[in-house]
Amino acid sequence: METQGTCPDCGDADESVYHALISCTFASMFWQCFNELYNIKLPKLHPATWCYDLLDNLICPVANCGPILCGMRAVWTAHDERRHGERNVNLLQACRWAKEISYDLIASGEYISGKDCPQVMKWNSPPASVVKVNVDAAFHEERQQGAIGVIIQNEKG
């Protein structure tokens, strides 16, 4: 986990992403407020696997995942604003923003996946004895790092 310095919210020496989004005093107040306003509770997330935990529907209900991710964005934005000297970050406003933006995103997702939208593409399985191969790669020049992904699927997926 990346540590960046002293937390501007609580003064803790741990300024990891987990701390800023989940365990910091400000983050805890945000999630308490978010739960009281919208009945959306941040599930207990393990410090080492919290990103994956959020996508596990046994840990985080599907309906809460979008609002929680938008909430994390709001917490991060507030954290960043305080890092740059802003002292009047409104907790209630941050909660409302997260809820509204998550609803907008969910609504736009429903529009995109709607049957009237011509951009919807659906994967079709290949005929028996044929495989489909999808390959993609990326390279980050400054870091001198690259990654490649390959998916091979037969008629059963």
Residues that bind Zn ion (CB under 5 A): 7, 9-10, 12, 24
Question: Cβ closer to Zn ion: 24 or 70?
Answer: 24
Min CB(38)–Zn ion separation in Å? 23
Min CB(94)–Zn ion separation in Å? 15
Min CB(8)–Zn ion separation in Å? 8
Question: Cβ closer to Zn ion: 9 or 60?
Answer: 9
Residues 6+ apart with CB under 8 A from 96: 37
**Pairs from 19-22 (Cβ < 8 Å, separation ≥ 24):** 20/75, 20/76, 20/79, 21/72, 21/75, 21/76, 21/79, 22/50
Which ranges of the chain would DSSP assign to H, the alpha helix?
A: 17-18, 25-38, 50-54, 62-83, 91-112
Instruction: Report the alpha-carbon distance of residue 59 to residue 155 in Å, rounded.
Output: 32
Question: Cβ closer to Zn ion: 9 or 66?
Answer: 9
Min CB(3)–Zn ion separation in Å? 12
Question: Cβ closer to Zn ion: 25 or 154?
Answer: 25
